[in-house]
Amino acid sequence: MIALRPFPVFSSPLLQESGLVHHGVSGRPIGCPEDCVEANMSFDWGDQTVATHYRSDFAERLGVETSSIVLPRQVHGSDVLVVARRGHDRPFLGQADGLVTAQWDVALGILVADCIPIFLLDRATPAIGLVHAGWRGTVAGIAAKALGVMQDECDTKPENCIVWIGPSIGVCCFEVGPEVTAEFQNAFPRNGIEFGDHIDLKQVNRQILLSKGVPDDQIEISPECSYCSDGFFSHRRAVHRGLERTGRMMGLLALRR
């Protein structure tokens, strides 16, 4: 066992209060250099053995069994998969950027570094959904699609849902070119948000979920910006500092037994 460097774990008071889920987003060790491998949760970058140790440590801190974690192959799309059973043999589920389950022995996982981890809990069924939403997924309405899959597959009602829009890049640091601004203007012509050279992805996703019937006081938005704070891996910050890639943080969500 290697010596693990302490790293922060972020969580939602609203989800915590529900008492129904184990959940969290892993952070990056404070003071680590930009190419820090410690607490990286991705197997596609850095050292896989190191990542395995950190994944286990993170899962343990959340009270989740490592073997219950399932991850999709994220492609910045809007497909959402239903996880019907535990996948020891198939920890990777195929291409998708959203997962939904009503199984208590499955922990949904996604990897992020600036993109938004969106946690959905239907308190009544109960059922859960976890989404990876970058700007492309946001434009494609993946948050609404995940909610729709929960409605179709789990009889979820939006008014019973609690949502956490987790730590991710803030409007302060998400500067975009005119072609990206145009995509948002076309996709959301009447949602009350002015789209300029900075896009507030968290607010856009909040608006999407409000329009689908999730009550405003049941949506919590993390104030943290992954670019501004040393406590997060940030793809954009790493690129601005001359790196091609950096580590990934993990969002985990599982129903409590």
The site for Zn ion (CB under 5 A) is made up of 170, 172-173, 225, 227-228
Strand order in the sheet with 161-165: 80-82, 98-101, 127-133, 116-122, 161-165, 219-221
Rounded Cα distance, 223 and 165, in Å: 9
Cis peptide bond N-terminal to 72, omega within 30 = no
Nearest distance from residue 227's CB to Zn ion, in Å? 4
Least Å distance, CB 173 to Zn ion, is 3
**Closest distance between Zn ion and the C-beta of residue 172, in Å?**
4
Place of tokens 């059973």: 85
Between residues 161 and 225, which has the closer beta carbon with respect to Zn ion?
A: 225
- Judged by CB, which is closer to Zn ion: 20, or 173? 173
Nearer to Zn ion, 42 or 226 (CB): 226
Joined tokens for residue 23: 């959940």
- Residue 97 or 114: which CB sits closer to Zn ion? 114
Amino acid present at 93: L
> What gap in Å lies between CA 25 and CA 133, rounded to an integer?
14
- Smaller CB separation from Zn ion, 72 or 170: 170
143-180 b/e (C-beta count within 10 Å ≥ 16 → b): bbbbbbbbbebbebebebbbbbbbbbbbeebbebeeeb
> Helices 201-211 and 142-154 sit at what angle, rounded to 10 degrees?
30
Given the DSSP bridges, would you call strands 161-165 and 219-221 parallel, antiparallel or unpaired? parallel
Task: Closer to Zn ion by CB, 122 or 200: give it.
Answer: 200
Going by DSSP bridges, is the β-strand pair 107-112/249-255 parallel, antiparallel, or unpaired? antiparallel
- Of 86 and 202, CB closest to Zn ion: 202
Least gap, CB of 222 to Zn ion (angstroms): 12
Distance in Å, CB of 161 to Zn ion, minimum: 28
Q: What share of the chain is helix, strand, coil (3-state, %, to 5)?
A: 30, 25, 45
CB of 117 to Zn ion, least distance (A): 16
Cα Rg for the chain, rounded, in angstroms?
17
Residue nearest to Zn ion (CB): 225
